[in-house]
Amino acid sequence: MNKIFLVIAALLCALTAPGQNSLKVRVIHADTKEALHGATVYIQSMENPATTDSTGTALLARVTDGKYKLMVSYVGFTGREIPIIFPFTGTILEVELEPADEEEEEVIIQSTRTSRTIKNVPTRVETIELEEIDEKSNMRPSNVSMLLHESTGIQVQQTSATSGNASIRIQGLDGKYTQLLKDGFPSFGNFASGLSVLEIPPLDLKQVEIIKGPASPLFGGGAIAGVVNFITKTPKEKAENSFLFNQSNIGQTNLGYFSSKKNKKAGYTLLALFSNQRLFDVDKDDFTEVPKSMEFTLHPKLFIYFNAKTTLAAGNSFTTGKRKGGDVQVIKGNGGGIHQYFEENNTLRNVTTLELQKKISDSRSLTARQSFSLFDRHIEIPGYHFDGASYNSFTDIAYLINPANHSIVTGVNMMYDKFNEKKGSAADRDNKNLSAGAYVQDTWDISDMVKLESGLRFDVVRYSNTIFSNSELFVLPRVSLLVRYSDKLSSRIGAGIGYKVPTLFTEITETIQYRNVQQLDNVQSEKSYGGTADLNYKTGIGDHLDLAFNHMFFYTWIDKPLVLEPAGFPDYAFVNAAKPVQSKGFETNAKFIFKHDYKLYLGYTFTNANARYLNGNQFLPLVPKHKFNSALIYEKHEFLKLGLEGYYTSPQFLYNGFKTDDYWEFGFMAEKLWKRFSVYINFENFTDTRQSKFKRVANDPHPDPVFDDIWTHTEGFVVNGGIKIRL
């Protein structure tokens, strides 16, 4: 009797209850179609979410009839909200999730030392992120020159027709006014600057941070035009092992390896890169456009995690290289007669770094940094050689506190730089620089919309050599203001003062291998005043198009610039000019993203840089007034990348007053990705724009040629391709 009663009760409940449904949901990667294990699936307003299994499938049960919203999410992917009606016609619903874009708001800036997101930093900081670094490393795996060359407002200036040496210019100013850092360590200044761009590989970088304009409170002397900080990868619990093989039609071979791993007590990163380049003479004039070279870099870094609040990082970067350009027959070992000229560069760079980070409390932390570096270089041309070694020590101790609505960084640092010209070299031009400074920077969150950053630095500097010494005191204020008018519109304005200690090592002396350049005497530091102001706008247009726009004005005034002048044939000497250098202009950038996969980048730079101390034409040499860059990218995440790039450069004035032609250059790249490896091919400058098409670069006499200033590509069209393996 009881059993009959229970059956009748169950039938009555079934007849009176609304219809109940079940649904299988399968979640997959939108690009690769792989199942996503561990995705969350649930009906909005209902409890008990389901999780997908190894096949990407989740079961939703006991859903009554009606209209609902199905919510699907997975870490690292853009979640979806799908309208659904029950009863559902069908047995399974397949949902594709797109990989989440790296939003600008999530980028953490390290150069300002406050660990703030980019949207909350009053200082204008541009970032080149991992995805773009990875793309550019396909084009030039051996160094960062291509990575920076294609950035708006930055110019990679080649300083030698035969050796290919280069420097970085910002705002059209000489490379000595841009401070290069790696993980915050200044190991690339003075004598070490001539080949720095060519000796920083991109394979272990996760981010590049660029501050344009004065940035002296935290970085001291030399940060006049700006700062470029190369941030290396840190180890994660998931091991990373990657290999790269690259080959180009101009004879360059690159082999690279990067590895990293982290556990509870320790972690490591390791970069190894070998590059070999055969000599290349594209115009068959018997002089190399690309020198014969061989370079090797080894950079291990160890991380020790004493506890959750204390980390010690110790690294050592070793780079050695040999480069020989000039007369093709000399390099091949067939010199004689008119075949005499060559330029040889042999370098050794070793940088040891130590960094201790201690989190004292939730609002206080201490960072101590120490680096020691050696840069040894041998330059030789017929009848002349230059040999020297630079020794650098850098110490910095910074204390960060975060009281209410403030982030305050205060600290002290000291830098010692010593250059020794070896016996038997052309002359005795030994010199020493010692600077000690104290700084404080306060970032004040006045409100959610307004943030103010103000800094002050005091530096005592002494520079000396065998015939001259001088000491100076600098007081360096800087201020930046961020105003966020809305979620879409914001602006930044900043200004500051900087200085640059006198140095023999500049772009112009690099071009003449420091030959006949006299020791510094009776000179003083250059002083700068400058600022930037920009406007940022982001919005969505319809359902599928996103727009980001940035416009920046810049201005820099350099008082008593150090210039090289004749000092009785054949010698040259540096003097402080009575009239200033002035650089002003603006940059405009626009980015369009359509349906996540299509990206269009447009950039324009206007630069009006003048040397008031020049008679007649006062335009700074090798500074184009107009530059335009563009890139159209199609990308299916972890599946396929295609890119078409175009660049325009307006006429420039050379040191001899000659005005060059303008030119265009174009490139195309493609990369196909699988789970563990990818293959790529790059057609750089496929229109074969090169200087020798306009005029011969190496001028007679053949045994002792005179080279024109380099103002565009020398090597022309380059095809390279390779394979990247990820384990």
Note the pLDDT of residue 194: 64
Residue 175 pLDDT greater than 80, yes or no? yes
- Cα–Cα dist 432/415, whole Å: 11
Place of tokens 């900087």: 498
Nearest to 27 by CA among 76, 65, 85, 87: 76
**pLDDT score, position 544:** 85
Predicted local distance difference test score (pLDDT) of residue 425: 62
Whole-number pLDDT of residue 289: 93
Task: Specify whether domain 17-97 bears CATH 3.30.930.10.
Answer: no
Residues 129/136, Cβ–Cβ less than 8 Å? no
Tokens describing residue 181: 């850092």
Cα–Cα distance for residue pair 507/194, rounded to 1 Å: 8
45 — pLDDT class (breaks 50, 70, 90): low
Q: Which of 498, 471, 480 is nearest to 217 (CA)?
A: 498
* SS3 per residue for 644-682: EEEEEECCCECCCCCECCCEEEEEEEEEEECCCEEEEEE
Q: Is 387 exposed, middle or buried (0-12, 13-18, 19+ CB in 10 A)?
A: middle
The amino acid present at 205, given as its one-letter code, is L
Phi/psi of residue 288, each to 5°? -70, 140
- pLDDT for 19 equals 62
Structure tokens, 475: 């007081």
Residue type, 332: K
CATH number for 230-726: choose from 3.50.50.60, 3.30.750.24, 2.40.170.20, 1.10.150.120.
2.40.170.20
CB contact burial 584-599 (16+ within 10 A = b; e otherwise): bbbbbbbbbbeebbeb
Q: Which secondary-structure segment (H or E) carries 478?
A: strand 469-484
Query: What is the per-residue pLDDT for 48?
Result: 67
Q: How many CB atoms lie within 10 A of CB 370?
A: 16
DSSP string, 488-547: SEEEEEEEEEEEE---S--HHHHHTTTTTBPPP-S---EEEEEEEEEEEEEEEETTTEEE
13 pLDDT more than 60: no
Average pLDDT over residues 430-448: 94
Show the DSSP H helices in 539-630 as ranges: none
Q: How far apart are CA 378 and CA 290, in angstroms?
A: 19
**Domain coordinates of the chain in residue numbers?**
17-97, 104-229, 230-726
CA distance 150 to 154: 8
How far is C-alpha 630 from the chain's CA centre?
18
The Cβ of residue 100 has, within 10 Å, a number of other Cβ atoms equal to 15
d(CA 589, CA 628): 10
SS3 33: coil
pLDDT tens-digit series, residues 645-693 = 999 999 999 988 899 999 999 999 999 999 899 999 999 999 999 999 9
> pLDDT-based confidence at 195, cuts 50/70/90?
low
The pLDDT > 90 percentage for the chain reads 65
Q: What is the mean pLDDT of residues 597-620?
A: 93
> What phi, psi does 331 have (nearest 5°)?
-65, -35
pLDDT band at 426 (very low <50, low <70, confident <90, very high): low
- What's the Cα-to-Cα distance from 429 to each of 336, 393, 418, 511, 514, rounded to whole Å? 33, 20, 11, 18, 10
pTM of the model: 0.85
pLDDT score of 588: 97
Pairing of strands 20-29, 92-97: parallel
CATH fold label, 104-229: Ferric Hydroxamate Uptake Protein; Chain A, domain 1 (2.170.130)
Amino acid in position 502: P
Q: What's the pLDDT tens digit per position in 87-131?
A: 887 778 888 888 765 444 467 788 888 878 888 899 999 998 888
Q: pLDDT tens digit string along 312-341?
A: 999 999 999 999 999 999 999 999 999 999
Q: Are 603 and 648 in contact (CB under 8 A)?
A: no
